[in-house]
Structure 1
Amino acid sequence: MKRNSVQVGSVGHGYVEILVLGGTGKTGRRVGAGLREQGLDPRVVSRSTPERFDWSDDTTWEPVLQDVEAVYVVNEGTDRLPEFTELAAGSGVRRLVLLSARVWAEMGRDLADERVVEQSGAEWTIHLVQPELHRGRRGRRADQGRRGPVGDR
């Protein structure tokens, strides 16, 4: 697989680099694998990958955003999403895909992350998973049940 050799029509008219945040976690790992199965070569990052991304260390943000046009965002409960989306949009990211689950609204988050992504200036998709899938309920695979984009611009 060759990086920057994938045409993604909804992101633009050229070839794009796809970044997967939280790429070693439950959903990020599956997203990365799914993209690879489609012949893509996503840039998969986390706190433990050689190319690091850490929500608490903003010096890791800019390097992973270099040449990226689409980002799969797994926000691990940080309040730094507005800073990240501003940097991402300013760095040329054209599409943000946010992992979301209804349980977050029940926990008092009031869908704040979704609003941040919608207001980022980038094209966006909200990827909704059932809360029990997000929590990784034992005995169920993450690809079971309903999930998919609920908002898209």
Structure 2
Amino acid sequence: MTVWVEGATGKAGRRVVDALTAAGVPVRAASRHPGEAHGSVTPVRFDWADERTWAPALGDAEALFVKGLDSDDDAAKTVARLIGSAPAARRVVLMSAVGVDRAPDDAPRRAVERAVQESGKRWTVLRPSWFLQNFDEDEWVFARALRETGELYAGSGDSPVGFTDTRDLADAAVTVLTEDGHDGRGYTVTGPEALTFGEMAALLAEASGRPIRHRDATIDEHRAHFARSGRPEAWVDHMLHLFALVRAGVFAPVTEDFRRLTGKAPRTPAAYAREVWRP
């Protein structure tokens, strides 16, 4: 079986590629800027905005790992067209997010889930929480402000989050892509505990040995902060929506789904902090 992985150079996608490779599974690693082939990994150019790249990128992959388009109102139709462009694929695994299964059917992310579920393929949905790797890898969500000013910029109040390590998401993806028994099911993949952003700031400060504080930004402050990224307004709106969901408690759940899928304990925020943020 060959697995096509979307976003293969991103925070989650490259860990999925690594985990599949470690499991001996051939991968078509799809991204706008593919690298060099190595081992069982075939990098392929893929661009959601250029459908001419789709069929060559998909090739003869028998399974798809899809992240989708978070801030696009037409994402569901686009994802449905992509799946329809992969006649050799029998299975689709979608990376969604915690709580999407409880969202209205016309909400963009829920509509993407439904497009996958109605695609005629065998499907599984993985719903991770906020990624721990956002703190050091996503420049305009957290990393730049943490590095330059020691501020964890998050308009979250005191609401906790069951932060997910991307490596755990990748291990869960390998399980549902390569083993039977997961068709038509959704799994909420979280860490072992829910922490507030203030508590995360304290962990990062302790691990790094420098002052880091949580800045509980107002909506206007957050919009101005994200606008400096130069990213589209739709992305800014999407991020503000995510923080509204944090304040509403949507990302607070902690589940045993990762342990059930893999037989392993999920990585802890403290372990991530010690590993990545040590001086």
Aligned partners of 1:98 and 1:127 also within 8 Å? yes
Rate the CA distance shift 1:136–1:93 in 2: closer, same or farther, 3 A: same
- What is the letter of the counterpart of residue 27 of structure 1? A
1:92 match? 88
Q: Distance in 2 between matches of 1:152 and 1:93?
A: 14
Counting strand residues as a fraction of each chain, which structure ranks higher? 1
- SS where residue 101 of structure 1 aligns? coil
2:59 match? 66
> Following TM superposition, by how much is the alpha carbon of 1:27 offset from its aligned partner in structure 2, in angstroms?
0.7
Hey, which bits of structure 1, 4+ residues long, moved more than 4 A? 103-106
1:43 match? 28
Number of positions where the alignment pairs a residue of Structure 1 with one of Structure 2: 131
1:12 match? none
> Following TM superposition, by how much is the alpha carbon of 1:136 offset from its aligned partner in structure 2, in angstroms?
4.2
Aligned partners of 2:28 and 2:58 also within 8 Å? no
Deviations 1:18-41 (A, max 9, x none): 111110011110100001111222
Deviations 1:72-107 (A, max 9, x none): 00113342112112222xx2210000001036649x
> Following TM superposition, by how much is the alpha carbon of 1:142 offset from its aligned partner in structure 2, in angstroms?
2.5
Aligned partners of 1:124 and 1:152 also within 8 Å? yes
Deviations 1:28-87 (A, max 9, x none): 101000011112221111001152001000000001222111010011334211211222
> Following TM superposition, by how much is the alpha carbon of 1:109 offset from its aligned partner in structure 2, in angstroms?
2.3
**Greater gyration radius:** 2
Q: Where does 1:1-153 land on structure 2 (aligned, <5 Å)?
A: 16-49=1-34, 51-77=44-70, 78=72, 79=75, 80-88=78-86, 91-102=87-98, 105=103, 108-109=107-108, 111-130=110-129, 132-133=130-131, 136-138=133-135, 141-143=165-167, 148=172, 152-153=183-184
With normalisation by structure 2, the TM-score equals 0.42
With normalisation by structure 1, the TM-score equals 0.74
Counting helix residues as a fraction of each chain, which structure ranks higher? 2
Q: Which runs of 5+ in 2 are unaligned?
A: 36-43, 137-162, 177-181, 185-279
Q: Which runs of 5+ in 1 are unaligned?
A: 1-15
Q: Which moved more, 1:111-120 or 1:73-82?
A: 73-82
Rate the CA distance shift 1:144–1:126 in 2: closer, same or farther, 3 A: closer
